[in-house]
Structures are given as structure tokens and as C-alpha cells.
């Protein structure tokens, strides 16, 4: 039962030989979700031994090349590998037009694409399955841009196995007990739920925020999450440049993490103007100590933990 982020690309607009353009891969219980798809994403997937055919949902934050130019090759490769099942593609409104225009030059795919565009103001889920929800986080960049919050659904209570037989619980009883109800035995004795169950695993959560100017309102949307990726294109000394280009500094990313009370912060999307990124991480850690700067190939796993009963 994994909940694991792999950094496929960590550069900003100009890639380097060690940092590919932006792409993250989220693996939740053997389901793969791709978040942004910079040039070379399919090559990074091969490098890190992920079969592109296992990706069924791709989330695109915005239509700047360093977040989307890998989509053409990845989708083409999926087609050449014989894919038949559709891919869900989630992103700004123009993404659909852009891809359709692209296919008019390079031919259509042997599988469908289900386009989903986040609706501003809609508080519903952009994506939902039996285990996970994805919410949209509106960002403030130079073009329509969205962050994404991935959160596991609330898990049911776990029933103590030795008591299932002891009290003769049937399937219908189990469903009720897992949902929190007490159990009444055949002779009318009430067994309290707390005696029958132990706490379920916590809902794990990951938010992806790239690209955006510093926006204190973001904190409310990601309060208390486990893992936050927030872009940190610039060092604090280049704050004015960050504002002008609608990006954030390392310190600003850390301020969001600190105000939102997240457990861990990842920063990346570093400008190639900095030869060394250590000082950006240092700046962030002064505000929020549990910060790491990401590199291509880094894997961050959120462990399973029981809900505290205290």
C-alpha cells in the first residue's frame, strides 16, 4: 500500500544535463498518476523502470513548454506499445485544442483521450476513484495554471480478527462495524465498536504546486497535508524577479508550508541561473526546517500510520 512520489524532472524552463523539465509520478497502491510532462518524461520513465502503459491519468498544471512538451512523445509511445484503453488528461481548457491540433499533423492515437478541465470555483473533485480524490488548487501564474491535491479517501475501521469468530460476525455485520456501528449479539448484548475495532490507517496526502507567484491563500487549501511540493524557482534575493515572472522564492515556498502546517516540504523547479541549489534549500529551512530540494530520480514515500486514538 504505497503512496510514493518519484521526481522525473526537477528543472525549471531551461533543462540541464542532470535536471530534466518538470514531471512527477505519484504511485498509490500500484496505480500511477503523472503530474506534468516536460520534454523527456518518457525517457525518465524508462530510466526509472516505470512502464508508460501503467499510467492512466495525466495531470497538466499549465501550458508552458517545460511542463507539457513531453506529452507528444509519451502519448505516441503509448500508442506504439499497443495501448487500447483511454488516458484521462486533466488540465487547462486549451489543452484539448492543442492536442487535437497536434494529432492533425502527427496522426491520431489507437486509444482515446478523456479530457477534463478544472472549472474555476468548482469545489468538487477533478478525479475520484475508490481510494483517492484529486482536487484542483487555482494558482497565479502568467497563464491559466492549476495545482493538484491528491488525498487518500477515509479508510474504514479495521475489525479485530479474533473477535469476528468469537462473536460470529457475518458479512453484513462487518460492513456496519467497519463503518463505526456497535454490534448487538443474538441475545441482545451490545458490544461497543471501540472494543471490536482498531484505528484505520491515516489518509495520506500530497499537493503539487507549480508554477505560482507567492500566494498566502494557498495555505488554507493544503492545511495539514503530509507532503507538499511547492516551486522555488528563485532565491530570496531575486524576489522582484520572482514577482515579475509570477514565480516563488525558496523562502516564500517555505512560508506557505509553515502556515499550512504541512509535515514535509519539497522544493524544486530551480532556475538554471543558480549553479548550486544548496542555498535555496538553506533559505527555505530557515522558515520551515523539514524541507528538501528535489533531484531527478528522488523518491519520497509516505508511510502508513494508524490514526492516533489518544
Per-residue binder mask for its own copies (CB under 8 A), 11-30, x = binder? --xxxxx--xx---------
Query: Catalytic residue among 36, 66, 215, 226, which?
Result: 66
Radius of gyration of the chain (CA): 22
Report in angstroms how near the CB of residue 40 gets to its own copies at its nearest: 4
Residue 97 a catalytic site member: no
Among 72, 115, 125, 201, binds its own copies (CB under 8 A): 72
Residues in a beta bridge with 201: 306
Q: What residues from 29 to 68 belong to the interface with its own copies (CB under 8 A)?
A: 39-40, 42-43, 46-47, 63-66
275 binds its own copies (CB under 8 A): no
Q: What residues from 104 to 133 belong to the interface with its own copies (CB under 8 A)?
A: 105-106
Report in angstroms how near the CB of residue 82 gets to its own copies at its nearest: 12
Report in angstroms how near the CB of residue 267 gets to its own copies at its nearest: 21
Q: Which is nearer to its own copies, 154 or 273 (CB)?
A: 273
Reduced to 3 states, what is the DSSP secondary structure of residue 298? coil
How is residue 288 written as a grid cell?
Answer: 520551515
Q: Residue 265 in contact with residue 288, Cβ under 8 Å?
A: yes
CA angle 301, 307, 308 (to 5 degrees): 120
Report in angstroms how near the CB of residue 162 gets to its own copies at its nearest: 49
40 vs 71: CA distance, rounded Å: 9
Relative to beta strand 183-184, strand 190-191 is antiparallel
Q: Residue 22 in contact with residue 11, Cβ under 8 Å?
A: yes
76 binds its own copies (CB under 8 A): yes
DSSP 306: B
Q: Residue 230 in contact with residue 210, Cβ under 8 Å?
A: yes
DSSP 201: B
29 vs 46: CA distance, rounded Å: 20
How is residue 20 written as a grid cell?
Answer: 530534466
Report in angstroms how near the CB of residue 69 gets to its own copies at its nearest: 5
- Tell me, by CB under 8 A, how many residues bind its own copies: 32
Among 1, 29, 80, 122, binds its own copies (CB under 8 A): 80
239 binds its own copies (CB under 8 A): no
Which residues belong to the active site? Answer: 66
Contact positions vs its own copies (CB under 8 A): 13-17, 20-21, 39-40, 42-43, 46-47, 63-66, 69-70, 72-73, 76-77, 80-81, 94, 97-98, 101-102, 105-106
Amino acid at each position: 500500500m504505497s503512496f510514493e512520489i518519484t521526481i522525473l524532472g526537477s528543472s525549471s524552463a531551461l533543462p540541464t544535463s542532470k535536471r530534466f523539465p518538470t514531471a512527477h509520478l505519484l504511485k498509490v497502491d500500484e496505480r500511477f498518476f503523472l503530474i506534468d510532462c516536460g520534454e523527456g518524461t518518457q525517457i525518465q520513465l524508462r530510466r526509472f523502470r516505470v512502464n508508460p502503459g501503467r499510467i492512466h491519468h495525466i495531470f497538466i498544471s499549465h501550458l508552458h513548454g517545460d511542463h507539457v512538451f513531453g506529452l507528444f512523445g509519451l502519448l505516441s509511445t503509448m500508442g506504439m506499445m499497443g495501448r487500447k484503453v483511454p488516458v484521462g488528461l486533466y488540465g487547462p481548457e486549451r489543452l484539448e485544442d492543442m492536442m487535437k491540433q497536434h494529432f492533425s499533423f502527427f496522426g491520431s492515437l489507437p486509444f482515446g483521450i478523456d479530457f477534463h478541465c478544472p472549472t474555476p470555483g468548482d469545489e468538487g473533485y477533478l478525479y475520484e476513484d475508490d481510494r483517492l480524490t484529486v482536487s484542483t488548487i487555482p494558482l497565479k501564474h502568467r497563464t491559466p495554471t492549476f495545482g493538484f491535491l491528491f488525498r487518500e479517501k477515509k479508510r474504514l475501521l479495521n475489525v479485530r480478527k479474533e473477535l469476528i469468530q468469537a462473536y460470529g460476525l457475518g458479512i453484513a455485520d462487518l460492513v456496519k462495524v467497519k463503518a463505526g456501528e456497535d454490534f448487538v449479539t443474538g441475545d441482545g448484548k451490545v458490544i461497543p465498536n471501540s472494543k471490536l475495532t482498531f484505528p484505520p490507517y491515516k489518509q495520506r496526502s500530497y499537493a503539487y504546486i507549480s508554477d505560482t507567484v507567492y500566494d498566502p491563500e494557498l495555505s488554507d487549501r493544503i492545511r495539514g497535508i503530509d507532503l507538499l511540493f511547492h516551486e522555488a524557482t528563485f532565491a530570496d534575493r531575486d524576489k522582484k524577479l520572482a514577482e515579475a515572472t509570477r514565480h516563488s522564492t525558496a523562502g516564500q515556498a517555505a512560508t506557505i508550508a509553515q502556515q499550512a502546517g504541512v509535515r514535509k516540504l519539497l522544493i524544486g523547479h530551480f532556475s538554471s541561473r543558480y549553479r548550486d541549489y544548496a542555498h535555496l534549500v538553506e533559505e527555505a529551512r530557515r522558515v520551515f526546517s523539514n524541507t528538501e530540494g528535489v533531484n531527478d530520480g528522488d523518491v519520497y514515500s509516505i508511510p502508513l500510520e494508524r490514526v492516533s486514538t489518544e
